[in-house]
Amino acid sequence: MESSDRPPEQPKKKGVSGIAALLAAAGGLLAKFKGFLLLFVHAPMLLGSLSFFATLWLYGLTLGWRFGIILALVLLAHELGHVVAFRNYGLAVRAPVFLPFIGALTPGARPANAEDGAYIALAGPLAGMGLAAVSLAMGLATHDPFWMLAANISALLNLFNMAPVLPLDGGSIIRAVWPPIVVIALPIFIIVAILAQLPLLPIALIALFSIFWLVGSWRSALASTVDGIETPARIRIGLAYAGTLLGLLFIEARIHLPVLATLHR
């Protein structure tokens, strides 16, 4: 998730043993992700984001080091996608802020226009889709469950973030296309997610949150129009959104094909 500023089951361990477990697990998993992370990580920014390390620690303790660290790295990849986009537009951007068990956001300067803002919002899911695709390719090539798990987490997290409802990135993108279209886009998104057999809990949360958001924003965010964006730009943004969404759905479906093939043997 990006944010624009107006101005610019393992038992828990404690103490030294817990730190040692975190470092050992992080070292092994970071080694697997190093090729991807080298494309994105800006060391001073990452070191300055203490919230990332706090989130990494909490996820490792509560979810298990393997799953927790993968989840933290997937969130990091998503937010670094926003960072790269902000910088490509020459905008000031601060270190991503991670909120354990809630998500993350990247504070940055307000884009010059709505089209730039939509592409900055889209950069996070695109980075996540790239990570999911690379992980899926590695999983299919090596048959290593680690890579399939990483691909699955990245695809699911970014699919959730593509839901056309604020404050998720999908809501920011859809509003740039045409705000009232969210009335059609939301049911379609939920139906497609159900047909794709995505986990029901995130779908239910999106549906519930969407009801409150639609009621509360009908006159302001929903019924208003985004100024300064022409029809060709809206079409480009809409196609980019649809392409990213379809790409994530394809990856998620492809992840489950090896499992289904194994079940039918």
CB 151 within 8 A of CB 257: no
* Least confident range of 40-49, 122-131, 145-154, 253-262: 40-49
Q: Tally the residues of the chain.
A: 265
Domain ranges of the chain: 1-110, 116-265
Residue 254 is predicted with a pLDDT of 85
Structure pTM? 0.73
Which is more confidently placed, 225 or 172? Answer: 172
Convert the pLDDT of each residue in 68-79 to its tens digit: 889 999 999 999
Which is more confidently placed, 232 or 25? Answer: 232
* Least confident range of 19-23, 53-57, 92-96: 19-23
* Least confident range of 9-18, 121-130, 187-196, 232-241: 9-18
Residue 39 is predicted with a pLDDT of 43
How far are the Cα atoms of 20, 33, 188, 201 from residue 37, in angstroms, in the given order? 22, 6, 34, 30
| C-alpha–C-alpha distance, residues 221 and 146, integer Å | 41
Contacts with 173 (C-beta within 8 Å, 6 or more apart), sequence order: 118, 121, 122, 162, 164, 237, 240, 241
Convert the pLDDT of each residue in 110-140 to its tens digit: 998 888 999 999 999 999 999 999 999 999 9
